[in-house]
Structure 1
């Protein structure tokens, strides 16, 4: 959403994660995960306010939880353990922001599914910018450090939504380039590459996107 606003409207706006996970009752289970397609429809029908990182005091509703380490050893505490409770939907901007909640919302004019062929996905990236994809996570993914990921071994652990930002090829192996949400000390500076054109772990099945209102 933030990328699309920048590309199509020329504005640097951070969409509030907290607002989406707290107020979209049809999107899923808050901090326990949700459905990206429903999230884009919520953006279109209800709108989402601005936000920022934890402690940034940016936007109407910044992220309320401190960062933690995802499957790596680093300076932050581990993310393992109990989840934070999903914040209540207060429909109110932080104190001192100077703007009303409803007046701060960004909106989409369109929410849609992206075609599942390799060419469809590449065309969408080139034409409109990054979009959301979902893939199946197996045990071996938690050991990813770098390179082009391909499932080898382990049991299914769940589904994970990430941002598809580009593609490439290395030593004859085609890949998608993905922005993950697990901090910059995970993977390739917060990014990963996964095999392209083979629907690896279902990565090419469920692309979703939206177009921001001007």
Structure 2
């Protein structure tokens, strides 16, 4: 007989191993994973089977046992697939011993615990159990407890859970991340998992040679990343005032050029959690212009612009065109040493006698990438802006996202273009970013050249020094 209220699945009439009819929630879609408790019928047998198979496949001298039950899910397919999450620890019993009960090591320093995930296939009508997958890793002691039970949908590949644990542990350690509470940790791991999937989508669809993955921004939502690090004013085109056009380059662009090799680029800086990229883009351009006119590379102050540019909005964004005008009105820029960066707006403390570099005017470059390359090679690094969506997860290589990820009209980040060239036949722009040297390739982002990718051609500009 079938228990009342149960739907009989044609290819699973009963569960011989469970000793009862398998009855799934009729509201659940067919094949959906169902969470089981440790005491439910049949679960003990499945756990004993996984423990036995673990020991058969282990080279360890001592037997290991399940020391902590985490979860079991059952999925009804053409048979039953169980997914088991447990902790397994070593005991004091040698495998060769025939004792029925084995105690764990009482000394914590001798207790070796692994976090394991098993997949077991149960073809009930044949009475066979088969171990499909086993994945065990040392327990993440410091952090696992805080997010081990976070409710994340892993789809059919439940071994995603183990990958998440390992990736998140490495992320916390590498970037020294600490959260204020268990709730915040749980929220961040969910965001981290979603960002892993986004990075994988970017990777699968990228048209260049870029590698995307875990970065120091991987625990931020898109909205948080935009608020903390990007510049919303750049895509508000009604705010853009016309600039004087630059005279075209006198010579064609060479095959490649890099101003880092000619001493015109200072070290990579870090804007912190402040949308001041516009200031870094402009000061980087002026540093290069000053070097070309005077033979001296200075590190100029972005904080002066954050504090003293009354047209732009400090950490809430700004426009390079406004910044050039502000510098002209102020009389120039102090050095980074004299006017140190703090990453937040404060009262203007500009001192005219400390001016280290000045500009006379500014110009807007052509929107043709070949002409931008020729102008850059002839005249120095260029202030540019782009859509930075793909940059959140960029690690290395030449990035060439699809337009759907990188709308050229949704520009939100200002950077410094310092050169161009080819890598394994892929043309690129070399872009100095302002998110520290632990971003991208030593602080640099490489973007595909030749298709106006991410709007890189729309806001190229430069200061002019006579």
Same fold, TM exceeding 0.5? Answer: yes
Q: Residues 126 and 158 (structure 1 numbering): CA distance in 2 closer, same or farther, change over 3 Å?
A: closer
| 276, 288, 295: which one aligns with 1:10 | 295
CA distance in 2, matches of 1:197, 1:41: 31
Counterpart in 2 of 1:199?
Answer: 452
1:90 counterpart = 2:349 = yes
| 306, 328, 333: which one aligns with 1:49 | 333
**Contact conserved, 1:16 with 1:61, CA < 8 A, in 2?**
yes
With a CA cutoff of 8 Å and minimum separation of 6, indicate the structure with the bigger relative contact order.
1
CA distance in 1, matches of 2:457, 2:411: 16
Q: Deviations over 1:108-129 (max 9, x none)?
A: 1120111111122112211210
**What is the Cα deviation at residue 50 of structure 1?**
1.8
**Contact conserved, 2:406 with 2:454, CA < 8 A, in 1?**
no
Q: Give unpaired runs (5+ residues) of structure 1.
A: 53-57, 66-83, 92-100
1:211 counterpart = 2:435 = no
| 435, 439, 443: which one aligns with 1:190 | 443
1:38 counterpart = 2:322 = yes
CA distance in 2, matches of 1:125, 1:194: 16
CA distance in 1, matches of 2:443, 2:318: 21
Moved segments of 4+, more than 6 Å = none
1:23 counterpart = 2:308 = yes
1:146 counterpart = 2:404 = no
CA distance in 1, matches of 2:366, 2:329: 22
Higher-Rg member (1/2): 2
**Contact conserved, 2:406 with 2:453, CA < 8 A, in 1?**
no
**What is the Cα deviation at residue 46 of structure 1?**
2.5
Alignment of 1:64-143 (within 5 A): 64-65=342-343, 84=344, 86-91=345-350, 101-105=351-355, 106-138=357-389, 140-143=390-393
CA distance in 2, matches of 1:127, 1:115: 14
Counterpart in 2 of 1:70?
Answer: none
Q: Give unpaired runs (5+ residues) of structure 2.
A: 1-285
Question: Is the partner of 2:395 in helix, strand or coil?
Answer: coil
CA distance in 2, matches of 1:189, 1:124: 25
**Contact conserved, 1:111 with 1:208, CA < 8 A, in 2?**
yes
**Contact conserved, 2:395 with 2:441, CA < 8 A, in 1?**
yes
Question: Is the partner of 1:165 in helix, strand or coil?
Answer: strand
CA distance in 1, matches of 2:347, 2:332: 15
CA distance in 2, matches of 1:125, 1:205: 15
**Contact conserved, 1:111 with 1:209, CA < 8 A, in 2?**
yes
Query: Structure 1 length normalisation: TM-score?
Result: 0.76
Larger helix proportion of the pair: 2
CA distance in 2, matches of 1:23, 1:124: 30
Query: Structure 2 length normalisation: TM-score?
Result: 0.36
